[in-house]
Amino acid sequence: MIDTNETDTPAAGNRPGPENSQASGIRPAARLWLRDPLAVHLGAGVDQDQAARGIVIDRATETIVELVPAGGEPSSGGADGATGADEALEVVDASAHVITPGLINTHHHFYQTLTRAWAPVADLSLFGWLLNLYPVWARLTPRALELATTVAMAELLESGCTTAADHHYLFPSGMDEAIDIQVDVVRRLGMRAMLTRGSMSLGEEAGGLPPQQTVQDSDVILDDSRRLVEIFHQRGPGAQIQIGFAPCSPFSVTTELMRDSAALAAELDVRLHTHLAETIDEEDFCRETFGLRTVDYLESVGWLGERTWLAHGVHFDDSEIGRLGAAGVSVAHCPTSNMRLASGIARAVELEDAGVAIGLGVDGSASNDASNLIREVRQALYIQRLRYGAEAVTCDRVLDWATKGSATALGRDDIGTIEVGRQADLAMFRLDGLPFSGSHDPIPALVLCGAEKADRVMVGGQWRVIDGRAIGADGVELDKEALIAAHQEEARRLVAG
């Protein structure tokens, strides 16, 4: 039996990941045992002793094949039916780690990493923030998007995130294949992604918020949406890349495009995403423009159903919460963004109690200024406790939002939980260093003491973070210094005009 631990991995350089051990003459074992973790998050109310001795992963199927209970040992045999544990099982000492399902980000705008902490919008609420940024974003180029997407996804990955949803709605001249660019980045990093083909079709000349140079014709949007699904959308367990349709918001798309997007999504069986009820300004816009509140508007365009997940969902009344739950709509709760733009506090507990699946999203890195999902878990805990109290919003509950709830929001049941048969998407966090000194219980410590980065992250049974550093699908450590330098240069160019 091969016994490895964190100190066995080279500390620096372009080192190969463990999945490439065969190339260096070491035959990889059929199965991997993450042995004796500090704790495993199996979900609120679940007996954690079911996995007290760890988790066994089958490399061939890329799935979890066994939870080892307290006092237990893994059974012998790999995916090929082999016995003889000495050859079939590799062991990783997880005694310094808390293991969670891979975190799942349900709402982001990757391109916005290029406009973080820009002084002209640092102290504005949503509409003013957007009006100042639209002209800057209209200068987006393919190279800038590639770098922005890589930065966002690498930052997410190192925070314990294994699946990310991006809402890309900007297609200025020369950016017709923006989603294609993102697909390439996802493949290089080896993460999973829900890439939504966003859109804006209602420009300022027709009463919308975006400037005319940022909007597209509806036929162009719908044709490209169909193309992307036909080329890239994967279905079934283990899908790496999925496509959704995401008209940006009520104040930036026509009602016709909303209806046509819903019809096309039903035809092609993909999910729908949009911003809704983020601010009072948006509520006022819907009343003045459509004569409807936001949920009434959603229903009027055929979006009130299980296919839909909404970004933010801050300003719903009691009746609307009930209607959303009955319809099976999901919500991406974005606590940092909602605080940053002073949008309000989402009624997450009431939404969940009504049947709405709650996921977490970091939102764009210009309304959060970070792409860190484990940090977002802590923010969700604190902002929701302000509304509902400590007893109703537990550490386990917010971790469930970042994992199981987020998976449901994206329409997936193969990720988001640590169960036999699920994809081996896992995050491993160390609780050492000054921030955790004096802490007693691992799961509360992970959330309350302010974890910032995962030590190891696995996607489909393959290591994607080792010693806190992102490893690409090729098994080579990401050159973050070169990435940051190129990204910074593009960020300066974009703002300079």
Is 326 within 8 Å of 111 (Cβ atoms)? no
Rounded distance between C-alpha atoms, residue 429 and residue 111, angstroms: 28
Common-topology check for domains 2-101+422-481 and 103-409:
no
* Residue 29, pLDDT score: 81
Whether pTM > 0.85 for this model: the answer is: yes
Best CA proximity match to 18, nearest among 478, 427, 471:
471
Q: How many CA atoms lie within 13 A of 7 on its CB side?
A: 2
450 three-state secondary structure:
coil
Give, as one character, the DSSP assignment of residue 460: T
Q: CA-based angle 96:101:105, to the nearest 5?
A: 120
The residue behind tokens 């997880």 is 94
Rounded distance between C-alpha atoms, residue 138 and residue 446, angstroms: 40
Element housing 331 (H / E): strand 330-333
* Residue 297, pLDDT score: 96
The CATH number that domain 2-101+422-481 falls under is 2.30.40.10
Structure tokens at 120: 């002209």
Exposed, middle or buried: residue 98 (CB in 10 Å: 0-12, 13-18, 19+)? buried
Kindly list the averaged pLDDT for each block of 10 residues, start to end, along the chain of length 497: 35 37 56 97 93 96 97 72 58 97 98 97 94 95 98 98 98 95 98 98 89 93 98 98 97 96 98 96 92 96 98 98 98 98 97 98 95 98 98 98 98 98 98 96 97 98 97 97 98 95
* Residue 28, pLDDT score: 66
Is 201 within 8 Å of 217 (Cβ atoms)? yes
Query: Which CATH superfamily groups domain 103-409?
Result: Metal-dependent hydrolases (3.20.20.140)
Listed by start position, the domains of the chain span: 2-101+422-481, 103-409
